[in-house]
Amino acid sequence: MWFFRSPSIVYGEDSISFFNELPQRRLVIVTDGNIIRAGLLQKIKNELPSDSEILIIDDVPIEPTISYVLSLKGRIIDFNPDLIIGLGGGSCMDCAKVVFVTYERPDIDLHDITPLVNLDLRKKARLILIPTTSGTGSECSWAAVISDDDHGRKNEFASPEIIADFAIIDPAMVSSLPEPVRKSTAVDALAHAIEARSSTWKNSYSDIFSDKAVELISGNLFDAISHPENMEAVSNVHMGASMAGLAFSNSQITLAHSLGHSLGAHFKIPHGISVGIFLPHVIRFNYAESKGEYVALNKKFPPNLRKRYLYLTVENFLKVLSMPVKISDLNIKKDEYEKKMDSMVSVALESTGTVLNPRDAGRAELEMFLREIE
Amino acid sequence: MYKFPSEEWAKAYYEKLNANSDYRDSARDWEGDITLVINADQGLERDAYLYLDLYHGTCRRYIFTTDPEHIPKSEFTYSGKFGNWKKLINSEVDPIKGILTGKFKMKGSMSKIMRYTKAAKLMVNTASLVPSVF
């Protein structure tokens, strides 16, 4: 017995008009300053019923911490919303998920947001997520990454109960993404799709979404970058990212994410970059165990990008995107990197992604990956 | 071959766990005891308990009993029916999926256990290495 979990998905151009008929009236919108400056919050507000009362949380940091999330609890409880909306990239949406939990269950410890605890949510409100990048898949997943206060660890809170009620996949929310963000978030999405396909929890449902996600992202990303006015390409990448989110949410991620989370937490590197840097190495390491899956995925790349093996294709994909491939590309000093080696290995070892990798990896293998990118 | 559950099986498991260097490595910071509860089911008349005192990657002692009065109160318990334990030991059930689908119940700090999923997996893998009859 197993499950396939998904929010209800509203997608395509003009899908934010879904808010016209919203039954809720007391709304909390969790977002950040960049989203407001880009005019995206206003686009949502324009669609809301005129008698809505709105509390806007507009200062979600790039890496929200446990203290930050807990600092919002009192304001949210006092406002008494019947809907919480996460609007932004992964940080805003993950923050909204955890805010949703602290509002519904102010009594629980955030570390109890695990699949093993019955949270019993949705007694007060519902949750809607609107991605403004095409990458994290958070709008479709039941995970939320929140850092420790010292940023030494990214906690992977996860529960099927924090999956959104609705995910709104509107290309208008990503039409003006800066190019570096479009690239790095797309690499994150690609990693979700590839790792979901090879996880030991992979299943027929998640496989379908992995395959389609790779096809949509790899087949449209370069058009979306060079011609962001091409809404079909932008929309395809955006949908591909949400499909990758559905895939990994239902089969989990593996080693590239374990290592990427650890590297990112230790050196403050954007998620897509820190995960992408390990992806070809992990595929090569897993090749014998996941050959069938990797061969199937390789065929989903356009012929002009495809190489003989998936890890070569992914290497080529990253190269064409000019993504970092070594720590020297990230301006990390070698001695600093060496000092943090043991801690990086330990954090990666604790990740569930390490457990669900198709090939066993212990401390020695994790250190090997970290040295391969030196 | 060792009959599961039994004192002989428990001793064999204890020895294999302590010989497992991967487990020792992944649980090197772990401090906490756990009781595995095998609930009576077809093929097992009485509940059985295997108490494991786990500390820094080693199992310091174990107690096997069918009397719950004879085991210390432990930080964690992992319980399931005998039939589901058979599937777990035969690698037919994933230990975390087992909880998510109601085949097993876990009590204790979930935040702590979720940081040691690798060690938990290796504990289960070690059980699969004990030649078992049911």
Nearest to A304 by CA among A219, A190, A212: A219
Average pLDDT over chain A, rounded to an integer? 95
- Report the gap between the CA of A70 and the closest CA in chain B (Å): 17
A85 touches A44 (CB < 8 A): yes
What's the pTM value of the predicted model, to 2 decimals?
Answer: 0.90
Say whether both A169 and A183 belong to one domain.
no
Say whether both A221 and A127 belong to one domain.
no
Sign of CA dihedral B98, B19, A362, B112: positive
CATH classification at residue A160: 3.40.50.1970
Instruction: Give chain A positions within 8 Å (CB) of B114.
Output: 111, 114, 116, 352
pLDDT at B110 over 80: no
Say whether both A134 and A257 belong to one domain.
no
Please give the tally of structural domains in chain A: 2
Band of the pLDDT at A148, cuts 50, 70, 90?
Answer: confident
Last residue of a domain, one of A157, A173, A189: A173
Alpha helices in B6-132, H assignment, sequence order: 7-18, 21-26, 82-89, 95-100, 110-114, 117-129
Say whether both A331 and A358 belong to one domain.
yes
* pLDDT tens digits for range A72-114: 999 999 999 999 999 999 999 999 999 999 999 999 999 889 8
Share of chain A above pLDDT 70, in %: 99
- Choose between B86 and A350: higher pLDDT: B86
Residues 93-112 of B with CB under 8 A from A: 94, 96-97, 99-101, 106, 109-111
Angle between the A310-320 and A291-298 helix axes, to the nearest 10 degrees? 40
- Report the gap between the CA of B134 and the closest CA in chain A (Å): 23
Sign of CA dihedral A352, B105, B100, B20: positive
Q: Which amino acid is at A51?
A: D
CATH classification at residue A235: 1.20.1090.10
Say whether both A294 and A146 belong to one domain.
no
Q: Is B40 on the interface with A (CB under 8 A)?
A: no
pLDDT at A208 over 80: yes
Enclosing domain of residue A57: 8-173
Say whether both A117 and A227 belong to one domain.
no
Determine, yes or no, domain membership for A237. Answer: yes
**Residues near A191 by Cβ (< 8 Å), separated by ≥ 6?**
A253, A256, A257, A260, A272, A275, A276, A279
* Contact state of B121 with A355 under an 8 Å Cβ cutoff: yes
Last residue of a domain, one of A143, A158, A173: A173
Say whether both A232 and A130 belong to one domain.
no
Determine, yes or no, domain membership for A228. Answer: yes
**Residues near B115 by Cβ (< 8 Å), separated by ≥ 6?**
A350
Q: Both ends of chain B: CA-CA distance in Å?
A: 10
Determine, yes or no, domain membership for A1. Answer: no
- Choose between A117 and A164: higher pLDDT: A164
Burial grade of B42 (CB within 10 A; 0-12, 13-18, 19 or more): exposed
pLDDT, mean of residues B5-13: 97
* pLDDT tens digits for range A334-348: 999 999 999 999 999
Say whether both A43 and A109 belong to one domain.
yes
* pLDDT tens digits for range A5-44: 999 999 999 999 999 989 999 999 999 999 999 999 999 9
Structure tokens at A67: 């203290």
Nearest to A144 by CA among A242, A199, A238, A65: A65
Residues A344, A260: Cα–Cα separation, whole Å:
10
- Choose between A350 and A230: higher pLDDT: A230
pLDDT at B114 over 90: no
Burial grade of A43 (CB within 10 A; 0-12, 13-18, 19 or more): middle
- CATH entry 3.40.1160.10 includes domain B2-123: no
Residue A65's DSSP bridge partners are: A147
pLDDT at position B101 is 85
Structure tokens at A125: 């409100």
Domain boundaries, chain B: 2-123
pLDDT at position B112 is 82
pLDDT at B39 over 80: yes
Share of chain B above pLDDT 70, in %: 100
Q: Give the C-alpha distances (Å, rounded to integers) separating A237 from A24, A141, A182, A218.
A: 30, 17, 10, 8
Say whether both A305 and A190 belong to one domain.
yes
Q: Is A119 on the interface with B (CB under 8 A)?
A: no
Residues A116, A132: Cα–Cα separation, whole Å:
30
Per-residue H/E/C for A271-300: HHHHHHCCHHHHHHHHCCCCHHHHHHHHCC
pLDDT at A300 over 90: yes
* Contact state of A109 with B111 under an 8 Å Cβ cutoff: yes
Determine, yes or no, domain membership for A2. Answer: no
Say whether both A81 and A184 belong to one domain.
no
Last residue of a domain, one of A127, A148, A173: A173
Determine, yes or no, domain membership for A3. Answer: no
Q: Is B124 on the interface with A (CB under 8 A)?
A: no
Say whether both A189 and A105 belong to one domain.
no
- Best probe of the A interface among B78, B114, B117, by most A CBs < 10 A, is B114
Share of chain A above pLDDT 90, in %: 89
A100 touches A77 (CB < 8 A): no
Residues A252, A247: Cα–Cα separation, whole Å:
8
A173 touches A131 (CB < 8 A): yes
Q: How many CA atoms lie within 13 A of A259 on its CB side?
A: 29
Say whether both A36 and A146 belong to one domain.
yes
**DSSP conformation class of B44:** B
Residues B110, B113: Cα–Cα separation, whole Å:
5
Quick count: other Cβ atoms within 10 Å of Cβ A172? Answer: 17
